[in-house]
Structure 1
Amino acid sequence: MAKMLMKGNEAIGEGAVRAGCRYFFGYPITPQSELPHYLAKRMPEVGGTYLQSESETAAANMVFGAAGAGARVMTSSSGPGISLMQEGISYIAGAELPCVIVNMIRGGPGLGNIAPAQSDYFQAVKGGGHGDYRLICLAPASVQEIIDLMKDAFDLADKYRNPVMLLADGVLGQMMEPVELGEEQEITVPDRPWAATGRKKGGPKRLINSLYIVPEDCEKHNIKLGEKYAIIAREEQRWEEYRLEDAKMVVVAFGTSARICKAAVDSAREEGMAVGLIRPLTVWPFPNDVFARVKETANNFLVVEMNMGQMIEDVRLATNDAKPVHFYGRVGGMLPVARDILNEIRKLYDGGAAK
């Protein structure tokens, strides 16, 4: 099958179109501006709608409306813009509406810079907005994986009537890699009997709502959502294992950091150290199952992130602190380097302490 070079941001747009998305509402912000630029041209070609909103807050609420009417819809932004979307995202989750949200993470906090980071992890996997809710969060590590995961993102959103976030970083958005697109397939969007598309005579009302004034009703709704999240947490864990079979030390990383860590793991193996890698593909639900297995044989874990140490909390929970969990990170848009990760592995492999 023929391959073509494609930038990560453009791959997200093409993947969304091929997944049946026909509505995009968003606002340009570096380092994801190529995505709305791509869809501004691509959506009209497939009979879809592209609309640049006046703000990220407006974009989230446009997504709310389109999703409530039964559309396959998405938006995208980067850290500051995703922050502005949080109220709308909470409404969407509370109303149990399917949609896809892309966060191409940049350095922060505040305006930070336009360089790549992974510092929005907490915002993505712990909720971000108000109330008890969860987003399914997919973390690709290549442009091809972006293409492949976009259909999964929309399918998961429909399956659970829940927002799905594609969590990436500026490197993945800007880099170009060869990808296989394959033939475009006819996409049938699942029936949406709940969608607010008008009431048929004598039929049930179709109301999209996340407002429950009576506390007992709001509690009942939260319990229902919690039961759904428990199913997702059990059924939708995804991860990649790399050289893990006999690993005595396990590196844990996602996205771009994981790509760099693979090189460090290979170098460690060449030096005779039994090191492996766990790469979460879903950062929520977190792949607890693989850690429950590996914690029995691994001596310690090294979490590598482009932040001050956020996923490390989930690794400690997943391992129940059965073994030491260490951290190495770069922040502010700085990328970790394989040789520095290898140096950390050398220090820790025989029981040393992390920086």
Structure 2
Amino acid sequence: MAKILMKGNEAIAAAAIKGGCKFFFGYPITPQNELPEYMARELHKAGGCFVQAESEVAAINMVYGAAGSGARVMTSSSSPGIALKQEGISYIAGAELPCVIVNISRGGPGLGGIQPAQSDYFQNTRGGGNGDYRLIVYAPATLQEAVDLTMEAFDVADYYRNPVVISGDGMIGQMMEPIEFKELPKREIPPKDWATTGTKGKRKPNIINSLALDPAELEKHNIRLKEKYDLIEKNEVRYEMYNIENAELVIVSYGTTSRIVKNAIAALKQEGINVGLIRPITLWPFPMKAFDEIPKTVKALLSVEMSMGQMIDDVKIANKGRYPVHFYGRSGGMIPTPDGIAQKVKEILGGVK
């Protein structure tokens, strides 16, 4: 199949349609606007429905309704918009409804700016809404990976009856790269006998709800959700190990930042410094076991992020105190450079005895 040159936001939208998305509800915000624009133009051609809601809060509750009917549904936004959707996301997770949520993140806090950032790591992986719930979070590093993960996300959401987040940033949304829409392995999805599709007089009505006033019933529900999340942690972890063998230091980085890290690794290699990379593809579940594969030649770990340091908490947990953990980051829309990363590596290795 021939490759097509596309902008990231449009490629993700096209992948969603190919992944079976039939409903999109959203609200404009930079730097993800090309995604809903593409959906507005193209989704109806695939028999779907696009609605620009009156607000982010309205959009996520429309997602709740469509997901409750068993339809494949998606919304997208950027950081402050995702913040406004958090209550609805908690409702959707609590009601065990499948959907896909795209966050093309930008600098913060508050309204911040419109340049790329990764400062929504806590928001995506910890859940900004109330209660004990988890979101499956993918962090693509290339547009091809963004396309593949978006198409698969609908199957994963349906399989686990859980929201799936595609966590990108302004670079993923705005850059152009050649991509192809490949046929991906399909999962066997359980029948959606829970959906509110009308009884037709043949069954009792399905009730979709996240309210449980009996504390014993709510605890039972939370225990069952935890069992599902444990299964996701067992089956859905994804990561890349890069140039790990005989590394003196291992960098942990994800998304577009990991691409910059690879350039830094190449430059350091020319100076005789061997550095490896652990790249989480799933931010949740986080690839804890990848850290068990770190060779004994390693002297330290370095978390490199486009934030003031959020993933570093997971790196420290996964590290289990085995190596010193350092941090290098840029924030507010400032992007790390290979030279800056390489200099930090040299400082760390120069100080390690």
- Which band: TM-score by shorter chain? over 0.9
Whole-angstrom CA distance in 2 between matches of 1:197 and 1:295: 53
Secondary structure (helix, strand or coil) at the match of 1:260 reads: helix
Partner of 1:138: 138
Q: Is the 8 A contact 1:76 1:103 kept in 2?
A: yes
- Structure 1 residue 257 corresponds to structure 2 residue 247: no
Partner of 2:73: 73
Partner of 1:199: 199
Distance apart, 1:201 and its partner CA: 2.9
Percent of counterpart pairs with the same letter? Answer: 57
Distance apart, 1:143 and its partner CA: 0.9
Report the TM-score, using the length of structure 1 for normalisation: 0.96
Name stretches of at least 5 consecutive residues in structure 2 with no aligned partner. none
Secondary structure (helix, strand or coil) at the match of 2:351 reads: coil
Whole-angstrom CA distance in 2 between matches of 1:80 and 1:110: 7
Correspondence 1:36-185 to 2 at 5 A: 36-182=36-182
Deviations 1:274-307 (A, max 9, x none): 2111111000000011112217552211110010
Q: Is the 8 A contact 2:107 2:333 kept in 1?
A: yes
Q: Is the 8 A contact 1:18 1:184 kept in 2?
A: no
With over 3 angstroms needed to count, the CA separation of the structure-2 counterparts of 1:134 and 1:297, relative to structure 1, is farther
Q: Is the 8 A contact 2:244 2:295 kept in 1?
A: no
Whole-angstrom CA distance in 2 between matches of 1:158 and 1:183: 18
Whole-angstrom CA distance in 2 between matches of 1:346 and 1:293: 23
Whole-angstrom CA distance in 2 between matches of 1:70 and 1:51: 18
Report the TM-score, using the length of structure 2 for normalisation: 0.96
Pairs aligned (count): 353
Q: Is the 8 A contact 1:295 1:323 kept in 2?
A: no
> Could you say what the CA RMSD is over the residues aligned between the two structures, in angstroms?
1.9
Q: Is the 8 A contact 1:18 1:185 kept in 2?
A: no
Whole-angstrom CA distance in 1 between matches of 2:240 and 2:314: 17
Give the letter for the 1:118 counterpart.
Q
Q: Is the 8 A contact 1:247 1:274 kept in 2?
A: yes
Whole-angstrom CA distance in 2 between matches of 1:130 and 1:350: 44
Whole-angstrom CA distance in 2 between matches of 1:315 and 1:189: 33
Distance apart, 1:175 and its partner CA: 0.3
Give the letter for the 1:277 counterpart.
L
Q: Is the 8 A contact 2:148 2:182 kept in 1?
A: no
Q: Is the 8 A contact 2:17 2:43 kept in 1?
A: yes
Partner of 1:298: 298
- Structure 1 residue 288 corresponds to structure 2 residue 292: no
With over 3 angstroms needed to count, the CA separation of the structure-2 counterparts of 1:296 and 1:71, relative to structure 1, is farther
Distance apart, 1:189 and its partner CA: 7.2
